[in-house]
Structure 1
Amino acid sequence: MAPTLPLQAGDTITRETFWGISHTGEVVFYYLAFVTIVVFAWGVYDRFARYSEGTEDWFERLDDLPGRISRAAKVVGSNEKQFNRDLVGGIMHSFILWGFLTLLIGTTIIAIDIDIFRNVTQLLTGERQSFFVGDFYLSYSLVMDFMGLLFVVGVGIAIYRRYVSQKERLRGPHSSREDDFLVWSLFLLGVGGYVQEGLRILGTADVTASGVQFIEFEKVSFVGWFVADVMNAVGMTPGMAEAAYPVMWWSHALLAFVFIAAIPYAKPFHMISSFANVVTADEKAGKRLPGIPADLDHTNAESIEDFTWKELLDQDACTKCGRCSSVCPANASGRDLNPRDVILDLKAYREDLDAGGDEKPIIADGSGGVIKAQTMESCMACMACMDACPVEIEHLSSFTRLNRQLADQGDIPPSLQDVFQNVMQKDNTFGDANRTRGDWTEDLEFEVTDARETEVDYLWYVGDYPSFDDRNKQVARSLAKIFQHADVDVGILYEDEVYDANDIRRVGEEFLFLEQAGTLVETFEECEFSKIVCTDPHSYNTFKNEYPEVDFEEYADDPMMPFELTERWNADESIEVLHWTQVVEELTNSGALGLRGNELDYTVTYHDPCHLGRFNDEYEAPRELVRATGCDLHEMPRNRANSYCCGGGGGGLWIDQEEDEKPSEERLREALEDTEAGSAVEKFVVACPMCMTMYEDGRKTGGFEDDIEIVDIAELIVEALETGGKISAGATSEDDGDAAAPADD
């Protein structure tokens, strides 16, 4: 019997766990629970066993496992990546996650009390005892009701976003009934729990002359109390509630069993795979790419078995949330790329094969493969997808594998073939004689030191575009003038400098990347310097994050490789690699440039280059330099890690694309319409040669030539120095002609 009101001496503050359920019902319940656990455990084992069929990953992902688990717990528990660009989504997921975990913990506590604690105490003392009483019970009930309510609210928001507002990024070709099953089963579990609680509170109430009186201490279960009140108000009696309770209890239990058993076989599995994915993540993923073994039998993506176990885990970890697709500049500009769908297409193909489906090419030039070649050609390697992904899927690793397969098959655009040929024959992407690489220095009033002949503090890697592209030569001369003014001991390699190969690696030409890297490293080792400074963020990322990972010794005996290196380069990071903005920021802060901060009065906005910002987290140095000139800097809505790619990365500079609007045009429109200063913005400031080229092109094709000027930060600094009388004007050539246009001009 339920306790009467008021409580008599000796009455216990608790509730009966299997209230209204027969002994036979309890036996059936435990049998079904056992079956559910077996089905769940086997499913999880089978999913993880499938990963072992993938190839070995190049990167050790289980080292420092306690540290990895701790980091993953922080990332997942805080929902920090869920809040990125989507406050409502972050709140929704936090409510669901923590509500679900609390309800799971609460159920586990009851199981411990019933199945362990009571039996142990009976064995030890001869009397079954319970800790599910008194203050513990009251605290438990309050917490469970509160967190359960947040859970229901969170799932309700999810239902609203999916079915009412129909948020676009949640829909796609891989939307299916499993999405509906996840969200509605969770909702019914949450709401059903409160209905069950309300029936119990009403069913255990006393009927007095003054009406129905609930057990007073059950008020702590405030949601269940409210539900019981509503039931009572619409005419349900305690007897009716008592009769309905077992039906509701079994409905709730059976739905919970079905949900748990289905976890390994449907979308709910992401609750496990996503956490595992964060645990095994590479914090430098995308910034560095896996190499190709020297093994002649190696294949890149001829079959699904070529993918590593981590890439298979990536596929299972995808929650279909569409965050990656919503920030992808290729997708936004109408190109044939949806990052989420590439990952899910690979997963669907793998599952089809496991079910006995037919094999087909992983990637093909046309519609015959799992992924179309055009899809991968659309990728700009900007890493926005990876930055937005809440479960740290490493899209770029899989995308690069697909690009390498295209290169192996010869399915690459003619424009890319021309670039590869230029690099192989001329050591640069322009196809110009490499002996002219240093000719840009001839218009300077001073000589730039030859680092091959003289020891220097900074070895300046100028790069292809500042060396050969007329518009970017102006930037190189401006930077040289800054170094000269600040008396920086810097030198360049002249014709011995070769292309760093960052972008051709990202379009799949790994062996050409290795040739260029080995050649360049051998040149580095013949020079004496302390640090490397780069004009181009692409070079900066490659030297900092990729060259140290290359095992040159593995290829040293290959007659096709033009180098004889026998060890890794800069593996101990003894040589510091810097972008020029970082070097010049130090000079500015030390007073070496002599800027007062009021030389210029332009209204400007700044574009974060992907390889400097998102890849390497350098956001402040460029901004400090812009402000140091006196310019009024206004941020664009998409800035820092949320910056929108110019469209030039990942080979985009060299590939013709059919697109609704070039990324560069969209970015310039954003600068003039969406910044706080709006059309008052006079200059669009960049810190990357590729960005310079793409935005000069977008300024023409988008009709912005009369509205805004594209300038590099180095050019602003030189103008500020000239305005302040620190250096004389005229050291930079003014008649270099038009900038070299990219392939899609």
Structure 2
Amino acid sequence: MVFPLQAGEPITRPTMWRIGHVGEVVFYYLAAVTVAVFLWGVYRRFNRYTDGSEDWFERLDNLGERVVSAAKIVATNEKQFDRDLVGGLMHSFIMWGFLTLLIGTTILAIDMDILEKGGKLLTGQSYSIFKGDFYLSYSLVMDFMGLLFVVGIGIALYRRYAIRKERLWGPNSSLEDDLFIWSLFLLGVGGFVQEGIRIVAMDFPSFETVSFVGWFVADVLTAVGVDQEAALFVYPISWWSHALIAFVFIASIPYAKPFHMISSFANVVTRDEKAGKRLPGIPADLDADTGANSIDDFSWKEKLDQDACTKCGRCTSVCPANNSGRNLSPRDVILDLKNYREHVENGGDEKDIVADSDDAVIQAETMESCMACMACMDACPVEIEHLKTFTRLNRQLTDEGELQPSVQDVFQNLMQKGNTFGDSQRNRGDWADDLEFDITDAREEEVEYLWYVGDYPSYDDRNKQVARSLAKLFKEADVSFGILFDDEKYDGNDIRRLGEEFLYVELAGHHVETWEDCEFEKIVCTDPHSYNTFKNEYPEVDFDEFADDPMMPFEYEGFWNDDGDVDVYHWTQAVEEMVTDGKLGLNGTELDYTVTYHDPCHLGRYNDEYEAPRELVRATGCDLHEMPRNRDDSFCCGGGGGGLWMELDEEQKPSEDRLREALEDTDAGNAVEKFVVACPMCMTMYEDGRKTGGFEDDIEIVDVAELLVEAVESKGVTAGSSASTDAAPADD
């Protein structure tokens, strides 16, 4: 029997071995058909995005920088490692193994089709790099990365089928998920089986030991009775089986779940770095369609989001609404919209996209459950902008008037009174009456800090104590500050996320017009929600579009603070500077409480401010212990996105779960005395959760400002008044 590798021949392996000329022709024909089917499918998928509405801002500017940044995110798998080390390793093994095998196949095709066949056709002489040291290096790398690929697939199979990881399953799980993972398994394992058969058939060439996985498989085949003659017979069968599986897989990419390999990268390239913290505006035309009346209303980016979803369930697993038993799975909202879009594109009947109806694609109850905490977006490895889509759905519900009565009452209060409590604007500054000093009216005097107090610190009894504490801190630090009194209205952040855009614009217009008549250097906010919308959203509003509208009670034109001249602070950021400068006289030994700190969503995940509040807590001398879910993994209190005003059925309130975590899961355990917050909404939700969850005797809810005032007063400094009981939380 004659073998292709004889003594003295170069170190290499033959390509298309034992396939024959007819087989080669068939192979190249199938390859051409596969590529054509693949390209046509990709074209059709991306062409469908042109049917979507125009997105609200340019997503392809600085394309080179976007591609480089996206490549870094994808190459490092940084998002996959977030909260899931095993999942990150699994995806890294699969992705880099797959890419390496793809590159290796491309190198082989170039050598075989261009250098060998092309060279012989053009010059009469074949060329090849696929030999010697290059071949040995190639074989070693391909086996090593191929092994990682198979290991990654093995982990995926174990997580999906053995332990049945909960977040991988859901109502949108389907046969395509199984076909995808098993086709990858067959490609990876089949490649090594084919290699092992070839090594046996070629009588174990000594240099093939570099193909250590293939050599191991060859040893196993020999051990089970596969000899050289059997291997020679089986090799063409295994070769064609592997090739056909590869062709089917490649051709199916644009038509099934594997398309995420393309759409996900495109989604990362076109991402909005400020997604969620700012929302798209709406046309000034009152007749403009701003909601989700039709699937065509969705922008091309929202449709790309739908196609980029890999069904990994990371978003749903971190969603506080879902964890509390509410009817919301961020993943399934995105996938339900995708399925409905494809249904309509294929000629299916249309129906309500979102409504208070079982027949709707998305139920109103689902959208009411969203807290706008952005945990889903933070966890998503492919940068899906859930909150943008959710806001579109909420706008549709608002346009249709399908809102809970409690939310309608809030909107009514805002339209009539300018605040969510429905109290008189004349009473907005009454919280300051108990202070032993007067607060400057920023409308009449120039100040350094224009302090936006906010609705809850102005009207809610518990949060009034926080406002007074903060006023004392400003006074003790001897900074120039003032407030707007009855010219201050609600900031609009959360009603915007509920879909009430025109009222939001009205409130924004009122504030920027009022600020124009004041002299100040900086805006400081009590509430992270106010901080977010002033910093990230007010500058995006083109007030020119609305200034002539008789429904809008302002005449301000253009963009506010588009040049960034006005600095916007959350109060913890401003006071941290004061503490650092020694203006409060703290030395970090004043208090000795054991505490934990809760990151507000709008300060943390929205605006990446994690350290300022912690530095202030440490400055008081408190022993700070972190909850397991902290910083960008923080668990929402349940008040955002209008949750504070909703009446919802839930198995356990998010606030109750969070307080349990503070007392049971922190290192200090039930030694934690105080649960520290830096947001009025969080204060309200946790005071409620302390009562409903039975934690009243176990833990106290305090604001960072209250700790600071107590620390200052413990040194004999009165911060503008004698020792006060304001820093002590009320029990009712």
Normalising by the smaller structure, the TM-score range is over 0.9
**Match of residue 202 from structure 1:** 200
**Match of residue 292 from structure 1:** 282
CA gap of 1:548–1:329, structure 2 versus 1, over 3 A, is: same
CA distance in 2, matches of 1:24, 1:448: 92
**Match of residue 302 from structure 1:** 293
Alignment of 1:306-705 (within 5 A): 306-705=297-696
1:609 alignment partner, SS class: coil
Listed as ranges, the gaps of 5+ residues in structure 2 are none
**Match of residue 258 from structure 1:** 248
Quote how far apart the aligned CAs of 1:150 are: 0.2
**Match of residue 164 from structure 2:** 166
CA gap of 1:739–1:347, structure 2 versus 1, over 3 A, is: farther
**Match of residue 211 from structure 1:** none
CA distance in 2, matches of 1:577, 1:709: 30
Quote how far apart the aligned CAs of 1:413 are: 0.4
CA distance in 2, matches of 1:638, 1:490: 35
Quote how far apart the aligned CAs of 1:253 are: 0.3
CA distance in 2, matches of 1:481, 1:732: 10
Kindly indicate whether the alpha-carbon contact (under 8 Å) linking 2:465 and 2:727 is maintained by their aligned counterparts in 1.
no
Question: Counterpart amino acid of 2:236?
Answer: P
CA gap of 1:575–1:680, structure 2 versus 1, over 3 A, is: same
CA distance in 2, matches of 1:594, 1:270: 56
Match of 2:108 among 98, 107, 110: 110
Q: Which moved more, 1:360-369 or 1:284-293?
A: 360-369
Quote how far apart the aligned CAs of 1:2 are: 3.5
CA gap of 1:201–1:456, structure 2 versus 1, over 3 A, is: same
1:148 alignment partner, SS class: helix
CA distance in 1, matches of 2:731, 2:36: 66
**Match of residue 138 from structure 1:** 136
Kindly indicate whether the alpha-carbon contact (under 8 Å) linking 2:706 and 2:727 is maintained by their aligned counterparts in 1.
no
Question: Counterpart amino acid of 2:210?
Answer: V
Q: Which moved more, 1:674-683 or 1:584-593?
A: 584-593
Match of 1:245 among 235, 240, 243: 235
Could you tell me the TM-score, scaled by structure 1's length?
0.96
Quote how far apart the aligned CAs of 1:295 are: 2.8
2:407 alignment partner, SS class: helix
When the two chains are superposed, the root-mean-square deviation of aligned CA atoms in Å is 1.3
Quote how far apart the aligned CAs of 1:449 are: 1.0
CA distance in 2, matches of 1:287, 1:334: 26
1:570 alignment partner, SS class: coil
**Match of residue 184 from structure 1:** 182
2:177 alignment partner, SS class: helix
- Percent identity, aligned pairs only, is 73
**Match of residue 222 from structure 1:** 212
CA gap of 1:523–1:624, structure 2 versus 1, over 3 A, is: same
Q: How many aligned residue pairs are there? A: 729
Match of 1:271 among 261, 269, 273: 261
1:52 alignment partner, SS class: helix
Could you tell me the TM-score, scaled by structure 2's length?
0.98
Quote how far apart the aligned CAs of 1:140 are: 0.3
CA distance in 2, matches of 1:507, 1:437: 24
CA gap of 1:737–1:615, structure 2 versus 1, over 3 A, is: closer
CA gap of 1:603–1:75, structure 2 versus 1, over 3 A, is: same
Q: Deviations over 1:457-482 (max 9, x none)?
A: 11110000001101001000000000
CA distance in 2, matches of 1:739, 1:706: 10
Quote how far apart the aligned CAs of 1:739 are: 8.2
Quote how far apart the aligned CAs of 1:117 are: 1.5
Kindly indicate whether the alpha-carbon contact (under 8 Å) linking 1:478 and 1:732 is maintained by their aligned counterparts in 2.
no
Kindly indicate whether the alpha-carbon contact (under 8 Å) linking 1:472 and 1:739 is maintained by their aligned counterparts in 2.
no
CA gap of 1:737–1:715, structure 2 versus 1, over 3 A, is: closer
**Match of residue 150 from structure 1:** 148
Q: Deviations over 1:307-352 (max 9, x none)?
A: 0000000000000000000000000000010100000010010111
Q: Deviations over 1:222-246 (max 9, x none)?
A: 0001111111122211111011000
CA distance in 2, matches of 1:737, 1:711: 6
CA gap of 1:621–1:94, structure 2 versus 1, over 3 A, is: same
**Match of residue 208 from structure 1:** none
Q: Deviations over 1:4-28 (max 9, x none)?
A: 6xx733x111000111111100000
- State whether structure 2 residue 223 is matched by structure 1 residue 233: yes
Question: Counterpart amino acid of 2:176?
Answer: E
1:158 alignment partner, SS class: helix
**Match of residue 23 from structure 1:** 21
Quote how far apart the aligned CAs of 1:435 are: 1.0
